[in-house]
Amino acid sequence: MNVEHLEVKNFRNIEYVYLDPCEGVNIIYGENAQGKTNLLESIWLFTGCRSFRSSKDSELIGFNKNKANLYMDFFAADRQQNASLEIGEGRRFILNGVKMKGASQIMGEFLAVVFSPDHLSLVKDGPYERRRFLDIAISQLKPKYGVTLSQYNKAIAQRNILLKDIQFHSELYDTLDVWEDRIAFFASEIIRQRIGYINKLSLYTDEIYSGLSQNREKLKIAYNQQTVVYGDDKQELYENMKNQLYQSRKNDLITGFTSVGPHRDDLSIKIDSLPARTYGSQGQQRSAALALKLGEAAVIKNFSDEQPVALLDDVMSELDTGRQNYILNHIKDWQVFITCCDPTAVKNLKFGKSFQVKNGACL
Ligand SMILES: Nc1ncnc2c1ncn2[C@@H]1O[C@H](COP(=O)(O)OP(=O)(O)OP(=O)(O)O)[C@@H](O)[C@H]1O
Ligand SMILES: [Mg+2]
């Protein structure tokens, strides 16, 4: 999958840009506040997802303009395609000349992964961010997973309400069984899917991280269960999960909160056997987050046979030349857009194209 031409009009500070990227690495460089991230954001919007940095579409339209227009020629599913997006009162997508009914209809047609400085939270913040990363990544590959997850969350919320109600209505105690049965059923599927996904993802993240660190460091990711639920198959996981819930009743009745299950689990990220969150340097944390995002793209490629376009916003800062060099010259067969401020990065680029952005225009 790759972008062949991009046209951007009245989008944030970009009045007009026409871009002719190459199939490999494309560097977008320039000083702060010139429109580099805006350009990446415009490409991202063709995925049909919301912006990776603002929730309101109105913020995307240039000041004093009433609509933004984006157009892209791209290669996907073995053929040339084109898409246009108008952002005004709402979003209007046209794919290969056909009006789309909504953003959901365009999803999956143009694939991209984005790495922005916010994604460092994947490594630095608490387990919630990492669970979210796993859940979104799996849902994209298997939409049914998203349904299971929401049913699980509802069942957990019901059990939590019940735990509190039992304090005043002890006759409700027996109904715990009904919710625990549902929770165990959905939990077994969630745990199975997450472990399966991490096993696949780790094949790529190990390799990418080794490349980034020039084989000096090793990254290991694993599923980290707060309460371990064993099981070789779904049935065994289900039975063990049910048992864990039963055992936790006494404690959970005191706290009014369900203490076991995948909503408490984490993705463990270790560099040379030490947790990246607590011991990783800034460069190591950035490298680990980047390996996760690029690994996510590699899993999509393996699953769908389409290589998503990689949009890497400000990924170079805090990385030494060896790591920068890997990103610039060793990511093969893959269209990548990288923004950076430092034009010397362009000198280190062996193949590929570079574009300077100044005051919302491409020089
Ligand atoms: N809707 C809008 N209309 C006009 N300008 C906007 C709009 N939204 C944002 N901007 C402006 O776009 C400018 C460039 O933003 P952008 O985030 O792309 O910069 P950048 O080149 O990535 O800078 P940095 O190197 O600091 O990350 C900002 O100064 C911002 O004020
Ligand atoms: Mg930026």
Given a cut of 90, is residue 108 above it in pLDDT?
no
> What is the reported pLDDT for 268?
98
- The answer to whether the pTM exceeds 0.85 is yes
| 108 vs 336 pLDDT, higher one | 336
Least confident range from 66-70, 142-146, 170-174, 348-352: namely 348-352
What distance separates the 2 farthest-apart alpha carbons in the chain? 74
Same fold, 2-111+306-362 and 123-277: no
> What is the reported pLDDT for 81?
98
Query: Any idea which architecture 123-277 has in CATH?
Result: Up-down Bundle (1.20)
Given a cut of 80, is residue 345 above it in pLDDT?
no
> What is the reported pLDDT for 233?
87
The preferred substitution site among 37, 314, 337, 339 for testing ligand 1, maximizing ligand atoms within 8 Å of CB, is 37
**Which residue's CA lies nearest to atom 28 of ligand 1?**
33
Q: With cut-offs at 50, 70 and 90, classify the pLDDT of residue 226.
A: confident
The preferred substitution site among 9, 12, 29, 56 for testing ligand 1, maximizing ligand atoms within 8 Å of CB, is 12
Residue extents of the structural domains in the chain:
2-111+306-362, 123-277
Mean pLDDT of 213-223: 97
Q: For residue 38, give the ligand nearest its CA.
A: 1
Mean pLDDT of 4-23: 97
Q: Above pLDDT 90, what percent of the chain?
A: 83
Given a cut of 90, is residue 138 above it in pLDDT?
yes
CATH class in words for 2-111+306-362: alpha beta
Q: Above pLDDT 70, what percent of the chain?
A: 100
